[in-house]
Structure 1
Amino acid sequence: MSRYNKSDCNVNKRFVAIIAEKPKAAEKIADALGSLGRYNKCNYYRVPYWVVYKNGETILVLPSAGHLFGPSTRGKGVPITKIIWRPTWEFDKSAYYTKPYYQLMSNILPKADMYVNACDYDIEGSVIGYKIIENFGDLNKGMRMKYSTLTKPDIINAFNKLTNIDMDNVNAGSARHELDWLWGINVSRLLMKLFKISAGKSISLSAGRVQSPTLAEAIKRWEEINLYLPIPIFNINIVGEFNEKKFQITTKDWYPENISQAKDVVNYLNNNPILTVSSYQEFKEKIDPPPAFNLGDLQKEASRIYGFSPFKTQGIAEELYLDALISYPRTNSQKLPKTINYKEIIYGLGKQNYYKDLTNSILNETKGYLSPKQGKEEDPAHPAIYPTGEIPKKKLYGDQFKIYDLIVRRFLAAFGKQAVVNRSYAELLDGLKRKYKADGLIILDEGWFKYYTFSYPKANEIPVLKNGDKVYVVNVSLKTIWPKTNTTLSKYSLLRWMEKVNIGTKATRARIIEMLYRRKYLSIKGGKTYVTNLGYSLYKAIEAISSELISPELTRSFEEKLEGISSGKYTRDQVIDEAKSFLVKLIEEKLADKEIGDKLAVSLNIKEPEKRCVICNREASYNLYDTNLCEFHYEAMKKIEKNMSLLMKKIEKSENEVLNELIKNSSTGLWIREASKFLLSKDKH
């Protein structure tokens, strides 16, 4: 970059204005285009911008700070149907930091001869740039710049291949913002109005088109976890020996019915320590390499390996993208096109000592013929996530390195050869013809596991057997296992659910989940997510307004219509008008429903309920055995009652002993444990 010259910032001639989504991206664009000439960094209201002189052309690269405009209203009350796009800093205190960027645009853009939207190539970036040009420039002179990495070659190539403004993305993105805003402001204001009528005071509540079904799913999982009553299984663990090789054996397709039968099996095997092989087979299995990451896959692996939240992973990936170290991360694609120079990228990665051995290995293994494994998922805007091969300007540490390393290794693995494992499986019988099994796995060729070691399988060797072979039982033990619930509630499990039911977008899902925690509808204690009283109260109130508001079906229906705008199946006005009609009708029906506000006030402990649960002090909705219970502990009591006889038979203990087992067991759901404690204390009295 040339030495700063204040006069270079006073541009009085024709110029092209390039709008970038963030300052870091703007600097990368200026650096790339300026490499063909010269460029200067300037400031306006402490916001940096860059003046580039290239081949007799003057280019100003101006950064935004995300959305400078958003849907709003000047109207009070509810329903609200009129939408005004206004500067975000005017109506949102948290967006006040965008005001200097707004002032920069308003001062410089009206003088430009051409406008280039160089914001990220997705619906968000398309809307950000479009709204800036619409308000400060001339859309007839607007162009679009598309790139997937912030490397110099990609930026120069993108600038040389400008296209028309991508109106399909703009319309779909604008409609999504307007739809989400209409939904949020109308349902939220209705809830707050009903609460104020009942309680005589105000409270801040937030409902959302995607947020509310996601909260409902979190509550469904939370209830399943807390109402989980484990049924014990009796695990027979056997150490067998054949030809001086010891290996693990377990029961096949059966468990002892109760503790006595389990002890009988152990005694039998101790007295008759021979198992006969009834079948044995082994086969080689070739395991294909995985494709390069899309955003969802990256979030999945970062959660599995490091316990990162989807929001954290996405944020780190975006930082790496802005540093030109990886391609655009908000992509659905699992495919890498042939047009990318993979050899150059791998050579670049090899300049980092940490990856030198791996890059040499993949180049030798492939003999330079680099054909990546392609996944099923596609994205018309961007390829799968890949490293650019550029050397980090400063050393990566901690979490940032972990995400970068995941991306690099997964990218290299996509070029790797198949891994080969040998799987073996034996079925054995005791003298009473009860079935047992043993499984083995040996890695014959590590293939792509070498690069993506996070998927390396655990080897477990068993001896080669044949029918009729006698296996000696060296040791047999019994373990009573109270299985854990299969239901999970975490930021990552909610993300996967959103992907599965197709609500939200790859760019917004993690942020929506994070919002549930920031607004204190969900919280984390002891590493586990739980639903707060505020979150549950809000959910019940939204459900009382309309169960459609918490169902993914309605949200998904509008998602499909929003996607249909891009394809031309629907117009923006059609989708927004349908939403307005639905919301207005709903609000007019519920505006005078005082009962919703009353229940919300009771649930939030603003009003006193008629009766309280003897276990947790929540509002009591049920009476069981002359005991006032909330809905949670009522369900817990019923579940204990239903399963008590089975549990007593399984572990052969009294009712009180069963309750004690449920209390001390970590697998037991919270409400089951609390109900068990209450039943024990009641019995003592």
Structure 2
Amino acid sequence: MTYTFGTTEDKLIYYYIYYSKMQLIIAEKSTAAETIAKNLAETKIRIQDFGPVKVWYTQINGEETVVMPLKGHIKNVRYPETFRKWNEETLMKMIDAKLVYYPTAEDNIAVIKKFAKKADKVIIATDYDTEGESIGFEAIDVVREENTKSKVYRSVFSSLTTKELSEAFKNLQKPNKDLSDSADARREIDLILGAVLTRFISLAAERLGNSFLSIGRVQTPTLAIIVARDSERRAFKPEKYWRFTATIQTKDAEFLAEYKDGKVFDEKTAEKLRKTKNEKKAVIDKVDMKKRRMPPPKPFNTTAFLRSAAAIGFSVPNAMRIVQGLYMKGYVSYPRTDSEAYPPTLDLKEILNELRNSSSYSKAVSEILKKPLNPTKGKEAKDHPPIHPVKLPNEKLNPQEARIFDLISRRFLATLSDESEEEIISIKLDIKGNEFTAKGSRILVPGWRSVYIFSKYEENILPEIKEGEILKVLKIDEIEDFTTPPGNYSQGAILKIMEDLNLGTKATRPEILKKLMERRYISASRTLIPSEVAFAVIENMQKVSNEITGAELTATLEKEMKLVEEGQKKKAEVVNESRDMLRKVLKNLQSKRKEIKELMHKALLQQYIFGTCPKSGGKLKLVVSKKSHKRFVGCSDYPKCHFGMPLPQSGYFFISPQSCPKCGIHMIEWHAKESKRTYIFCVNPACKVEKKEKAIAKEKTKK
């Protein structure tokens, strides 16, 4: 609702705002603007709507103040309209074309202009990182169009608490153009490289419109890593092995011992061990007992947080969305950070005293405060402190928010807790000349593990045994099995690999995974399974150009952009270097265009094949009815063969590399539109699938 200035006091405020000098605070989002206004207001707050943009009027630090929000970037970058049409002839010209920055948030820009005219001071209060600084300079450019005399400052904060905001607005800094240029260099490089290569591969494969094939500077090398792991799985050949496990009895208990080598691949060794199956005695050759101290975990940087969130069931994009929301509400610190060390300026006791008010954490806090605080630490970064709780929520969080807040709070407490102490026991047994081993462990002092419940530890307590003892062998079991392929990467694992290879930044890595999912290159499940389209793009690009799919080019550009951030290189220099790199890559690709076209056509046809028709032996493929526009599985031998299977009509799906264990047809990974959930199931009505999945699948295919 628009606030009406009716009283005498209101009119006086109106006069100050429109005709007198004042300061303009520009925040990145509406939630942040409101929090800043409420936490720092020295007089009554008045709110006014300018279309969709809400502003807050008050006094801050004795000055009449307007606090207004942006909605992220208010400008974007694109190619000129002359390059709107996709064709082969313009690709090389696109590399050197001058990019255009254009407004994307006219309403916010109009409000900036309205207040900039009378603002003698402008304070940028966006997130303090490269992206936030770029957004800030977009606002500064708009201010300068209306007022060249106003002084521009920067407030730097890592949490939206009253204390930290108050300090930030009393100790204003200068905006950092190098930070902004680094972000803009990344935007421009990603646009140039992504647009040129996406157009080239899409034109070569004749996949235009909504079916275009996306290529990205960070996206494609990341996808290549995921595809490589799945290729390794597909090429894996199982190898037979045996395990021999002895059940040993003491006076008071039983325990298991395994043949020393674990997996036995040699048939002769296996045969030798089979001859011990009737042996009833085991001699204890050696008992080795050690105590081990395990230090507490390091504080959360962004990657460590996202990996831990993924380990307890959150997708990376969802975890990032939730923690960003908790930050905007003032419950946790800024979630995009490389730091693993709390700065000396962070009041750890203040946070502990806040957490003490929760029954979930009060016991741990009391234990921590008994001793001088000595937090763990890893690498230090200058941008923001590690992710930590700021205050207890004053509202009921939804279950996902509550779990993420609990994860962050317990990690914080763990970093300030004592080491845990464990006892590790190793026993060597002789059974008829064959060495068997038993390994046990137990926690002696829980330490940090008592509060950080997300760190899994399974005890295996062995009975007390002395060297030289002769124990009874109850039985020796033989298990025959086959080796299994390595698992697909989890979302958390791929984030760590991206960090190690310098692919992307702490802020962009979650977005890259999100894009790969949205573009249906990979599954949206906890384990990342590439689609056939992903295989087609990566495998064929690797045949002609490893520069695009490898991490080296991207990592080199990341280092260059870091130099811009540190003021050691100019933005234009780095962008032009990337243009030169791309020019060489494109020339190589264009020389092999015919080969790429043939390879892509052949590979992309496979993405719609489900398997072999059980009736005619033809290929089961995706079919879309010309009359009803419904999709279903049909046989390539139609009209001779009328075999078909239904498909979900809502949401989207791609054919999974996983085959149904019953009928052998490729299952589908269906992303339900209504529930936003993912289901993997066989579309063959003759197969039994999990009831929940089957019911939903049937419901959707009725449409």
TM-score (norm 1): 0.81
CA gap 1:170/1:201 in 2 versus in 1, 3 angstroms: closer
Alpha-carbon separation, structure 2, partners of 1:528 and 1:615:
32
Structure 1 position 420, deviation (Å):
1.3
Answering whether residue 455 of structure 2 is matched by residue 452 of structure 1, we say no
1:524 Cα deviation from its structure 2 partner: 4.8
Distance in 2, Cα, partners of 1:145 & 1:548? 41
1:412 has 2:413 as partner: yes
Q: Distance in 2 between matches of 1:494 and 1:282?
A: 37
Aligned mates of 2:245, 2:618 — CA distance in 1: 40
Give the aligned partner of residue 169 of structure 1. Answer: 179
What does 1:411-430 align with in structure 2 at a 5 Å threshold? 411-430=412-431
Following the alignment from structure 1 to structure 2, what is the Cα–Cα distance between the partners of residues 139 and 188? 41
Measure how far apart 1:408 and its partner are: 0.5
Q: Return closer, same or farther for 1:277/1:568 CA change in 2, 3 Å cut-off.
A: same
Distance 2:608 2:294 in 1: 62
Give the 3 Å change call, closer, same or farther, for CA 202–284 of structure 1 in structure 2.
closer
Show structure 1 runs of 5+ residues with no match. Answer: 90-97, 619-661, 671-685
CA contact (8 A) 1:295 1:329 kept: yes
Written as runs of structure 1 = structure 2, the 5 A alignment for 1:273-352 is 273-304=280-311, 306-352=312-358
Match of 1:179 in 2: 189
Root mean square deviation, CA, Å: 3.1
Alignment partner, residue 678 of structure 2: none
After superposition, the Cα gap between the structure-2 partners of 1:557 and 1:372, relative to the gap in structure 1 and judged at 3 Å, is same
Shift of 1:293: 1.1
Letter in 1 for 2:56: W
Q: Work out whether residues 233 and 480 of structure 1, in 8 Å CA contact, stay in contact via their aligned partners in 2.
A: yes
Shift of the alpha carbon at 1:501? 0.7
Match of 2:382 in 1: 380
For the 8 Å contact 1:71–1:83, the answer to whether it is kept is no
1:493 aligns with 2:497: no
The equivalent of 1:504 in structure 2 is 504
Q: Which residue of 2 aligns with 1:236?
A: 244
8 Å contact kept, 1:68–1:88: yes
After TM superposition, give the deviation of residue 216 of structure 1 in Å: 1.1
Distance 1:156 1:195 in 2: 57
**What is the CA-CA distance between 1:395 and the residue it aligns to?**
1.2
- Paired amino acid for 1:222: D
How far did residue 544 of structure 1 move? 5.3
Q: Which moved more, 1:131-140 or 1:573-582?
A: 131-140
2:461 and 2:602 map into 1 onto residues whose CA distance is: 61
Aligned 8 A contact 2:283 2:470 in 1: yes
Relative distance call for 1:426 and 1:130 in structure 2 (3 A) is: same
| Counterpart Cα distance in 2 of 1:82 and 1:663 | 50
Alignment correspondent of 1:150: 160
Counterpart in the other structure of 2:468: 468
* Counterpart code for 1:500: D
1:272 aligns with 2:279: yes
1:78 aligns with 2:85: no
DSSP-derived class of the 2:337 partner: coil
Give the letter for the 1:399 counterpart: Q
Q: CA deviation at 1:158?
A: 0.3
Deviation at 1:608, TM superposition (A): 13
Q: Deviations over 1:226-262 (max 9, x none)?
A: 2222213212122212232322211112544467864
**Cα distance change on mapping 1:58 and 1:488 into 2, 3 Å:** same
Deviation at 1:51, TM superposition (A): 1.6
> Is contact 2:255–2:462 with CA below 8 Å preserved after alignment?
yes
Cα 1:18–1:451 change in 2 (3 A) is same
Tell me which residue corresponds to 1:560: 559
Give the letter aligned to residue 510 of structure 1. Answer: P
Separation in structure 1 between the aligned mates of residue 594 and residue 209 of structure 2, nearest angstrom: 14
**1:565 Cα offset (Å):** 1.5
Query: Which residue is equivalent to 2:66?
Result: 60
Q: How many Å apart are 1:55 and its aligned residue?
A: 5.0
Deviation at 1:402, TM superposition (A): 0.9
Residue-by-residue CA offset, 1:505-529 (whole Å, 9 max, x unaligned): 000001101101101122357x654
Q: CA deviation at 1:301?
A: 1.3
1:263 deviates by 6.6
Aligned pair count reads: 601
Higher relative contact order (CA 8 A, sep 6+): 1
Q: 1:200/1:284 Cα in 2 relative to 1: closer, same or farther (>3 Å)?
A: closer
Q: Is the 8 A contact 2:202 2:208 kept in 1?
A: no
Does the aligned pair in 1 maintain the 2:533–2:607 contact within 8 Å? no
Q: 1:116 to 1:615 in 2, by over 3 A?
A: farther
| Equivalent position SS for 1:281 | strand
> For 1:6-17, what aligned pairs fall within 5 Å after superposition?
7=10, 8=13, 11-12=17-18, 13-17=20-24
User: d(CA) in 1 for partners of 2:296 and 2:589?
Assistant: 55
Q: Is the 8 A contact 1:242 1:470 kept in 2?
A: no
CA distance in 1, matches of 2:342, 2:499: 22
222 and 616 in structure 1: CA distance in 2 versus 1, 3 angstrom threshold: farther
Aligned-partner SS, 1:353: coil
- Counterparts of 2:321 and 2:352 in 1: how far apart (Å)? 25
The answer on whether the counterparts of 2:503 and 2:558 sit within 8 Å (CA) in structure 1 is yes
Output one character per residue of 1:167-188: Cα deviation in whole Å (capped at 9) or x when no partner: 2211211111111111111111
Residues 36-91 of structure 1: per-residue CA shift (max 9 Å, x gap): 333222211122121221354112111111111122121313231334343353xx
Q: Structure 1 residue aligned with 2:374, among 371, 375, 379?
A: 371
The equivalent of 2:217 in structure 1 is 209
1:348-407 per-position Cα deviation (integer Å, ceiling 9, x unaligned):
1122233233323333x42xx222122x2222111111111x231211231111111011
Residues 201 and 249 (structure 1 numbering): CA distance in 2 closer, same or farther, change over 3 Å? closer
Distance in 2 (CA, whole Å) between partners of 1:241 and 1:606 is 57
Task: Give the direction of change, closer, same or farther, for the CA distance of 1:459–1:135 in structure 2 (3 Å limit).
Answer: same
Q: 1:267 to 1:513 in 2, by over 3 A?
A: same
The answer to whether the 8 A contact 1:183-1:208 is kept is yes
C-alpha distance in structure 2 between counterparts of 1:101 and 1:411, whole Å: 38
User: Following TM superposition, by how much is the alpha carbon of 1:24 offset from its aligned partner in structure 2, in angstroms?
Assistant: 0.7
Aligned position for 1:681: none
Following superposition, the deviation at residue 599 of structure 1 comes to 3.4
Q: Against the structure 1 CA distance between its residues 231 and 589, is the aligned structure 2 distance closer, same or farther, given a 3 Å change threshold?
A: closer
SS of the residue 1:460 aligns to: coil
Question: What letter matches 1:190 in structure 2?
Answer: F
What's the CA shift for 1:601? 3.4
Kindly report which structure 2 residues correspond to 1:447-596, keeping only aligned pairs within 5 A, or say none. 447-524=447-524, 528-540=527-539, 542-543=541-542, 546-588=545-587, 590-591=589-590, 593-596=593-596
In the alignment, the residues of structure 2 paired with residue 408 and residue 562 of structure 1 have an alpha-carbon distance, to the nearest angstrom, of 34
Q: Does structure 1 retain, via aligned residues, the 8 Å contact 2:226–2:528?
A: no
Contact 1:286–1:420 (CA<8 Å) still a contact in 2? Answer: yes
Q: 1:221 to 1:55 in 2, by over 3 A?
A: closer
Match of 1:159 among 162, 169, 172: 169
* Corresponding position of 1:603: 603
Q: For the Cα contact (< 8 Å) 2:226–2:488, is it kept in 1?
A: no
The secondary structure found in structure 2 opposite 1:268 is coil
Q: Secondary structure at the match of 1:531?
A: coil
Show the counterpart of 1:434. 434
* TM-score w.r.t. length of structure 2: 0.79
Q: Write the distance in 1 (CA, Å) between the matches of 2:541 and 2:14.
A: 54
Residue 493 of structure 1 aligns to a residue in which SS? helix
In structure 1, the residue matched to 2:127 is: 120
Q: Distance in 1 between matches of 2:539 and 2:226?
A: 13
Deviation at 1:615, TM superposition (A): 9.6
Give the residue type in structure 1 aligned to 2:552.
E
**Structure 1 residues 385 and 289: CA distance shift in structure 2, 3 A:** same
